[in-house]
Structures are given as structure tokens and as C-alpha cells.
Chains A and B, each alone.
Chain A
């Protein structure tokens, strides 16, 4: 009876070790998959972030550029108004320059 039970106990231990080996083997296989997926996920997130940063930079730059251009247009208008007051003087000066 004792021998029989010991055999059963031994069998239980063998099965437990087999199960443990399977768990560890599967874990080893799974860990490679986990590594790959974790790595890919982190890289994908970084790529997405990179695209967002670049897109935002473009938007910000365009916005700043628009402000700069508006300023230039105002400058142009100011230049025109100021210059138009002096057109007659300029014409007379040049005529004098040519004809004298």
C-alpha cells in the first residue's frame, strides 16, 4: 500500500515538474513575444509623438510666419503712405537733375 502511494506521490511530482517545465518554456517563448511587442509599441508611440511634434512645429511656424507677414504688409503700407507724400518732390528733383 505504502509503495503504491509512494508511486502515486512520485507520479504527482513528475507531473508537477513537467508542468513547471512547460510553464517555464512557454514563459520563455512568451517573453520573446513580450519583448518584441513592448519594443514595437514604445517605438510606435515615439514615432507618433515625433510626427505630432513636427506637425505642431509646422503649425506654429506658419502661425508665426503669418504674424511676421502681416507686420511686413503693415510696413509696406506705411512705406507707401510716407513715400506717396514725397513723390512730387522726387519727380521735381529728378527733372531738375536731368535738365540742369
Chain B
């Protein structure tokens, strides 16, 4: 009898302990589940944010690549253009040098005469003044023949006379008698006036294959 009572008493405590263990274990399981659910939920929320962040990154990368590409294309174009411009300028410099040395050549008077005739035609003849450099003033220019050529081309009787005024550049300036209109056919002026057109011509010669 005593033993049976003890067993009952033991059972009561044993059952209680088992139930208590189960309650605590279930609570622990639930705790784990709650934490795991929150972790999953955080990952899902972050995933959306990460996705849009990586999308933004992709766009930024495109911008970076585009910027570098356009910058490099500009630089590459500039490298080649700068070299072309340099070569064209070299040709123009060489032209200037050769024009400068022409002044001492035998063909210079005939060149000067051509420039006078061209200017006279542009001015449509009549009474014209030829302005030369001090050195060129002493050249044996056939002004009468040149005046006739102008007359023939324009149909206007033309007279040419050398001006008392002088210029410093090689070439010639031809003025109307009243001095109101003139054509500057100095080498410097011709080059300056036609620089753009000449540069295009030079570029075509140098760079067209």
C-alpha cells in the first residue's frame, strides 16, 4: 500500500515534469520559428532593396561606360585632328617660306605683274595706283602692257602708276585713284584671305587616299 502511494506521488511529479519539459521545448521551438520567420522576412525585404540597388548600379555602370567611351572617342578624334591640323599648318608655313624666298627669284616680277593684273580686273580698271614695297618699286614692271591687259579684260581704259606710298610685305596693293577701293594682293593678305579654302585644299591633298 505504501509502495503504491509512493508510485502515485512519483507519477504526479513525473507527469508534471514531462508536461513542463514539453511546454518549454514547444516554446523553444516556437521561438526558433519566430526568429527564423523574421530572418526570412528580412531577407525578402532586403532582396527587393538589393534588386533595385543593383538595377541602379547597372544604370550607373552604363553611364560610366558611356562617359568614358564618349570621352575617349573625343580624345582619339582630337589626337588625329590635332595632327592633321599641325600638318596642314606646316604646309601653309612652308608656302609662306617659299613665297618669301620668291621675292629674290627671277620669276618674281612676272608674278607681281600677274597680281597687278588680277587686282586691276577686280577693280574694273580705270585709273589705278600700284603700291609696292620699297625693293619692288625698282623692279622693271611693264605697267603699260599690264594696263592694256586690264583694259582688254574689263573693257575700261586703264592707266597704272606706281604709288609714292610703300608697303613692307611682298606682293602688291592696287587702289583706285581716289584711294577708296583697293585690292590687297600682298602674299600675306592673299594667304589670310584664302586661308580656310587653302587649308581645305591642303587637307584634301594630304589626307585623301
Contacts and interface: CB of A to CB of B under 8 A. Distances in A.
Contact of A95 (B45, B56, B98): B98
B47 A42 contact: yes
A39 B42 contact: yes
Nearest to B6: A1
Contacts of B49: 42-43, 46
Contacts of A30: 31, 35
A54 B201 contact: no
Size class of the contact patch on chain B: 35 or more
Contacts of A20: 23-24, 26-27
B111 interface: yes
A41 B56 CA distance: 19
Contacts of A62: 68
Nearest to A31: B38
Interface stretch (B87-95, B125-133, B136-144, B174-182): B87-95
A97 B20 contact: no
Interface stretch (B69-77, B148-156, B157-165): B69-77
Given A23-B31, A68-B73, A79 B207 contact: yes
Interface residues of A, number: 69
Nearest to A17: B23
B69 A61 contact: yes
B145 interface: no
Contacts of A58: 64, 68
Given A16-B23, A39-B46, A83-B206, A65 B71 contact: yes
B9 A43 contact: no
Contacts of B114: 99-100
A65 B202 contact: no
A91 B95 contact: yes
A43 to B, nearest CB: 6
Contacts of A31: 34-35, 37-38
Interface of A: 1-2, 5-6, 8-10, 12-13, 15-17, 19-21, 23-24, 26-28, 30-32, 34-39, 42-43, 45-47, 49-50, 53-54, 57-58, 60-62, 64-65, 68-69, 71-73, 75-76, 79-80, 82-84, 86-87, 89-91, 93-95, 97-100
